[in-house]
Structure 1
Amino acid sequence: MSQATQDVREDGIIESVSGPVVQAVDLDARMNDVVYVGDEGLMGEVIEIEGDITTIQVYEETSGVGPGEPVENTGEPLTVDLGPGLLDSIYDGVQRPLDVLESKMNSAFLDRGVDAPGIDLEKEWAFEPTVEVGDEVESGDVVGVVEETVSIDHKVLVPPGSEGGVVEAAEAGDFNVEEAVVTLDSGEEITMHQEWPVRQARPSVEKQTPTEPLVSGQRILDGLFPIAKGGTAAIPGPFGSGKTVTQHQLAKWADADIVVYVGCGERGNEMTEVIEDFPELDDPKTGNPLMARTSLIANTSNMPVAARESCVYTGITIAEFYRDMGYDVALMADSTSRWAEAMREISSRLEEMPGEEGYPAYLSARLSQFYERAGYFENINGTEGSISVIGAVSPPGGDFSEPVTQNTLRIVKCFWALDADLAERRHFPSINWNESYSLYREQLDPWFQDNVTDEWSEIRQWAVDTLDEEAELQEIVQLVGKDALPEDQQLTLEVARYLREAYLQQNAFHPTDTYCEPAKTYGILTAIKKFNDEAFDALGAGVPVPEITAIEAAPRLNRIGVQEDWEEYIEELKDDLASQLREKY
């Protein structure tokens, strides 16, 4: 039986077992209490109480568990351990550290009932107080700092709900997370270790309107469909359309301080790739390992579905903890469809009334509860922090009308629709610019105008209008052919082609093109706009379209993305475009 069951009492017995759903009788429990089920002490959570029958979802495989075995109640909800050590760690869906469990089992295959704390309770950290004796502190205040990783300083907080008081003792030194680092006059001892229920949001003063973008370095996102720091986005797409690579790019390049990556029910080989790649990736901002500011939660598709249902809550709670320290956090959930499928399976075993396509009637409410914990917050300690949530959605067959995609669309303000046809044409990122949208554009425009250029919104609108016109013209081209179009429309199609190839396409595996700063994103658009303006001037002077598109400088537009000295390259290219086209008339 697991170590954690030593402090609890035998409380009830199993009456029936149906997959991950277990019913017990004579169990004195409340909703969401954590219990230990069977002789092996499998972790579970109370999800329904009806009379003397308590229904439990078990976070581990239940084969071999039978009626008559004991159920023990902890009397506490599912919580996560919070403190230094969360970063550079890999957890399962209920925050068991996989590397610790592997060393405990001497195997990559884990026995049931094995458990370990979410953070190392014995490791000592060098604590540096930021308060002095006589200072008054209250709930949420920072009392000290430890260097958690080479990239992140961990701020030790007075726990939420604390009455606070006057500092009686605070000394620098090496402490483990359970030793008191600050003592208050009330007798309260503050440690580096906190616990927090995963289904309850951590307190804040106010959720504010976000006005700063989460710069991702991906041209189509920053340029056309930006997300705010504290915003929400969905990336729906069929198999093989690039959801995971897009999220990897965001995890690596987005200007967030902390990354929480939740692999929720994804294929084992994909999670293996993440677990192997992330420790080897260098953080482009600091040169340190990317894992030094990343926490991974790995819950693959062959793991028990109940743990899959809890993993997104584990991830968002860890994100809120770092938000309280004043950090900007980006949370990637890949994918919320698998999470919804876990809810559907458990709901069906509970014999609840099914909603659309068998999903539970509360699907929309659960999705809302998750995404609503994102935001740009004023914290209770006076600092500001944000959580940006980017959830991948895997609609069966790429059908965006299915319930998970539609319910997610009602909640998020950014929609990055991946397109299988674009992926087949090797156009990456395969985000369909005709179906995607961002509702953050107007509130983020002032930031781009202040930090990049006053003309940001105007030139973006020109690009959007050109791409919209191309979409309409393509319908005509398919019917009568390109040559039947007037020359000005033929030229519009050529300009739109450069927008697609030079601007919207981006090579995630090229050392330079993988990241495109906003100024470069704007620069590429100005070069294409220069070609557009000069080309239409030439057309107006009687130059045929084939001669306009045949100039030597035009194909060089497609090479701007891979240029390190892009500013000089763009200026020279603009001059060449103008001179070569003007020579034609």
Structure 2
Amino acid sequence: MNITGKIYGINGPIVYVGENRAFKMGEMVLVGKDKLVGEVIGLTTGKTTIQVYEETTGLKPGDEVISTGAAISVTLAPGIISNIFDGIERPLQEISKQSGAFISRGVSVEALDTKKLWDVHITVQPGDKVYGGTIIAEVPETRAILHKSMVPPDIMGKVTKVAPDGKYTISDPIVTIVDNSGKEIELTLTQKWPIRVPRPTAKRFPSDRPLITGQRIIDTLFPISKGGTAAIPGGFGTGKTMTQHQLAKWCDADIIVYIGCGERGNEMTEVLEDFSKLVDPKTGNPLLDRTTLIANTSNMPVAAREASIYTGITLAEYYRDMGYHVAIMADSTSRWAEALRELSGRLEEMPAEEGFPAYLASRLSAFYERAGFMQNLNWTEGSVSIIGAVSPQGGDFSEPVTQNTKRFVRCFWALDKSLAYARHFPAIHWLNSYSEYLTDLAPWYTKNVGEDFVECRNQILSILTQENQLNEIVKLIGSDVLPDDQKLVLEIARVIRLGFVQQNAYHPSDTYVPMAKQLKIMQTILYLYQKSRLLIDRNMPMSLLKESPVFDKVISIKYDVSNDELDKFDDYKVMIDDFYNDIMSKNA
């Protein structure tokens, strides 16, 4: 590292260096006597512009700027899972030992523990030809995750020497190769990767299988595929963070990367405490054994917030390359966009709508496009699914971050404050939400869940849409004047809303619902609708039908039938038949 410049101007996190031709765009630099981490974001013949990822208080003109010669990168090695990092992959638990509850300026710690010994099993032999992505070693990282160390994507050659299986640190050489030019390269468990560059893959697969979440309104009405993208927009208090918590706990991804981007510190504390207590239903181990957290809370520097989502997705791509399915929870991209806006303002760039920079859309697309179900360079298959929360001010979905996000995601789960205030959770509104994955996933549902799954889903959504239209009439003239067939639609829609769409995160049988049970509940509700419609067609009044407790009993199915008692649904079909026969006999 060499001193390559001196500061001549400072504007918040933006630092200007005088004329110097030694810097490169995107290069990581160390600023001032405290060696604050920064990144080169602008170059002209007269000045170099640097954004600093730490508080710049105390910097002054004349302070030195040191070049590192490398881009802002993350360290990829065993030790990522179960850890909590800040926006530029500095481990917060290690930092707290040095500086307490708040990060001190210029703190320098290794991203991962370089002294810890890992049990390493070497998977290659001398003479093997290896290339980017070849798995050279396996390390039990946690009880849930087997870490597969790989050859960096830009290296290939022939193995000449391997270390015996045993205990090694992430810095110890374990495999030696000779590349095509005859150069000898020692490989360790560690590789570095620039956060703004997507990791290469061999092939992108179409969206043909869902990410199962156990949440009925998502899995059935608005599904997301593995490797898909979704946005959860909603105003304050509508349940964005809690919805993401539920998805992180229950979705069938192998690894969760949770990015707290500009969120309150107490929310990130809640995530840590929840995940450390929660038992993973798939492995029986703590959920934290397959989770990593990127925490950039609202009181941390904005420049690091801007980098945090790139740090998170690079970690996700690394585990995808091992053959894992990774889900990213980004909470919230609005706070990230606000950091972008603040930096843009400091740079005196021409503002676009609501002060956001003109390149907001391209930055959002670059982030979401890194999702996908991929064939990796080592021929394994893995995926990165991105679920991003959006926090529009005042719940206004017409603001730029929400509108631009809609352009690049195929799944939109719109949270509604009226549902949230009525304690209806998840507060995803079925009329404002959509999923473009349904057509792609229909063959999977037909093959793996049931031939009538998509048809049942469409009927359920149709009834909810009819209810909304009828409610407009009810507001004007009241419900008493409606014909009985329309009153039945309103009653069945109530059953759907309370018995299917609404879900209790704290009930053992309702917090997670397998696909088979979701289909059974839909079939039971639609069977009740079918039988009731027959009665209405025989001129039975709706008031008579509502005297029966059958509607409320169908609503309570979600609580009364556990996930492993699906044979009980036959009893509900018998109950509905008895209800039909009883009404017919009374009016014979």
Q: Same fold (TM over 0.5)?
A: yes
Map of 2:243 onto structure 1: 246
- In structure 2, the residue matched to 1:307 is 304
Residue 4 of structure 1 corresponds to: none
Give, in angstroms, the shift of residue 43 of structure 1.
0.8
1:54 corresponds in structure 2 to: 48
RMSD over aligned Cα, in angstroms?
1.1
TM-score normalised to the size of structure 1? 0.97
Report the counterpart of residue 435 of structure 2 in structure 1.
438
Check conservation: 1:171, 1:182, Cα contact below 8 A.
no
1:432-488 deviation digits (Å, cap 9, x = unpaired): 000100000011111111111111111111111111111111100100001111110
Q: CA offsets per residue over residues 216-237 of structure 1, 9 Å max, x none? A: 0000000000000000000000
The 5-angstrom pairing of residues 229-268 of structure 1 reads 229-268=226-265
Of 179-188 and 345-354, the range deviating more from structure 2: 179-188
| Residue pairs, 1:456-535, within 5 angstroms | 456-535=453-532
Selected match of 2:105 from 81, 93, 112: 112
Figure out how many residues of one structure are paired with residues of the other and give that number: 577
User: Is 1:161 equivalent to 2:154 in the alignment?
Assistant: yes
TM-score by length of 2: 0.97
CA distance in 1, matches of 2:43, 2:18: 10
Match of 1:416 in 2: 413
Alignment-derived partner of residue 71 in structure 2: 77
Determine helix, strand or coil for the equivalent of 2:262: strand
Q: Deviation string for 1:223-280 (max 9, x for gaps)?
A: 0000000000000000000000000001010000010000000112211211222222
Q: Deviations over 1:327-376 (max 9, x none)?
A: 10000100000000000000011000101110000000000000000001
CA positional deviation for 1:26: 4.1
Amino acid at match of 1:160: P
Instruction: Indicate which of 333, 337, 356 corresponds to 2:334.
Output: 337
**Does 2:388 correspond to 1:391?**
yes
For the 8 Å contact 1:282–1:288, the answer to whether it is kept is: yes
Of 199, 211, 216, the residue aligned with 1:214 is 211
TM-aligned CA deviation for residue 99 of structure 1: 0.3
Within 5 Å, give how 1:367-406 maps onto structure 2: 367-406=364-403
Answer whether contact 1:158 1:164 (CA < 8 A) is retained: no
- What CA distance in whole angstroms lies between the structure 1 residues aligned with 2:384 and 2:80? 17
What's the offset of the Cα at 1:171? Answer: 2.1
Q: 2:60 aligns with which of 59, 66, 82?
A: 66
In 1, distance between residues paired with 2:365 and 2:190?
A: 29
Please list, as runs of the form range in 1=range in 2, the aligned pairs for 1:94-243 lying within 5 A after superposition.
94-105=88-99, 107-186=100-179, 187-243=184-240
Q: Distance in 2 between matches of 1:582 and 1:129?
A: 70
The alignment partner of 1:338 has SS state of: helix
| Separation (CA, whole Å) in 2 of partners of 1:467 and 1:449 | 23
- Any idea what SS the aligned residue of 1:110 has? coil
Superposition deviation, residue 284 in structure 1 = 1.4
- C-alpha deviations, 1:269-312, integer Å up to 9, x for none? 21121122222221111110111110100001111100000000
Q: Secondary structure at the match of 2:193?
A: strand
Partner of 1:42 in structure 2? 36
Counterpart amino acid of 1:59? Y
State the alpha-carbon separation in 2 of the partners of residues 425 and 494 from structure 1.
18
Kept after mapping to 2: 8 A contact 1:140/1:160: yes
Identical columns (%): 51
Q: 1:499/1:566 Cα in 2 relative to 1: closer, same or farther (>3 Å)? A: farther
1:272 pairs with 2:269: yes
For 1:512, what is the secondary structure of its paired residue?
Answer: coil
Matched residue, 1:574: 573
Contact 1:16-1:23 at 8 Å conserved across structures: yes
Once residues 479 and 68 of structure 1 are traced to their aligned partners in structure 2, the CA distance between those partners, rounded to angstroms, is: 72
Counterpart secondary structure, 1:493? helix
Secondary structure of the 2:487 match is: helix
Letter in 2 for 1:304: P
For structure 1, which segment, 50-59 or 194-203, has the greater mean C-alpha deviation from structure 2 after superposition?
Answer: 50-59
Alpha-carbon distance change, 566 to 532 in structure 1, aligned in 2, over 3 angstroms: farther
Does the 8 Å contact 1:139/1:164 carry over to 2? no
CA contact (8 A) 1:395 1:404 kept: yes
Hey, what's the Cα distance between the residues in 1 that align with 2:440 and 2:154?
34
Instruction: Confirm or deny: 8 A CA contact 2:237 2:417 kept in the other structure.
Output: yes
One-letter amino acid matched to 1:95: E
CA–CA distance in structure 2, aligned partners of residues 217 and 163 of structure 1 = 42
User: How far, CA to CA, are the matches of 2:157 and 2:277 in structure 1?
Assistant: 42
Q: CA deviation at 1:570?
A: 2.1
Greater mean deviation of Cα atoms: 85-94 or 188-197:
188-197
Could you tell me how far apart the structure 1 residues matched to 2:47 and 2:185 are?
39
Q: Which residue of 2 aligns with 1:3?
A: none
Q: Which amino acid aligns with 1:580?
A: F
- Give the stretch that moved more between structures: 558-567 or 256-265: 558-567
Amino acid at match of 2:489: T
Amino acid at match of 1:115: S
SS at match of 2:408: coil
Whole-angstrom distance in 2 between the partners of 1:183 and 1:211: 40
Listed one character per residue, the Cα deviations across residues 563-582 of structure 1 (whole Å, up to 9, x for unaligned) are: 31541332211211121222
1:136–1:165 CA contact under 8 A, matched in 2 = yes
What is the aligned partner in structure 1 of residue 583 from structure 2?
Answer: 584
> In 1, are the aligned partners of 2:159 and 2:175 still within 8 Å (CA)?
no
> Which whole-Å CA distance do the structure 1 matches of 2:579 and 2:463 have between them?
23
- Structure 2 portions without partners, runs of 5+: none
Give the Cα separation in 1 of the matches to 2:111 and 2:311: 11
CA drift of 1:135 comes to 2.1
Contact 2:130 2:156 in 1 (8 A): no
Q: 1:327 aligns with which of 324, 329, 335?
A: 324
Give the C-alpha shift of residue 164 in structure 1: 2.3
Q: Which residue is equivalent to 1:5?
A: none
2:22 counterpart of 1:25: no
Q: CA deviation at 1:167?
A: 4.5
Moved more, 130-139 or 221-230: 130-139
Counterpart-to-counterpart distance in 2, 1:253 and 1:96: 28
SS in 1 for 2:142: coil
Which one-letter code corresponds to 1:111 in the other structure? S
- Does structure 2 retain, via aligned residues, the 8 Å contact 1:86–1:119? yes
Deviation at residue 185 of structure 1 after TM alignment: 4.1
Match of 2:549 among 552, 568, 572: 552
Cα–Cα, structure 1 residues 167 and 487, in superposed 2: closer, same or farther, change >3 Å? farther
| Contact 1:126/1:147, CA 8 A, preserved across alignment | yes
- Partner AA of 1:55 in structure 2: T
Q: State the distance in 1 between where 2:542 and 2:177 align.
A: 79
Letter of the 1:307 counterpart: A
Please tell me whether the aligned partners of residues 34 and 74 of structure 1 are also in contact (alpha carbons under 8 angstroms).
yes
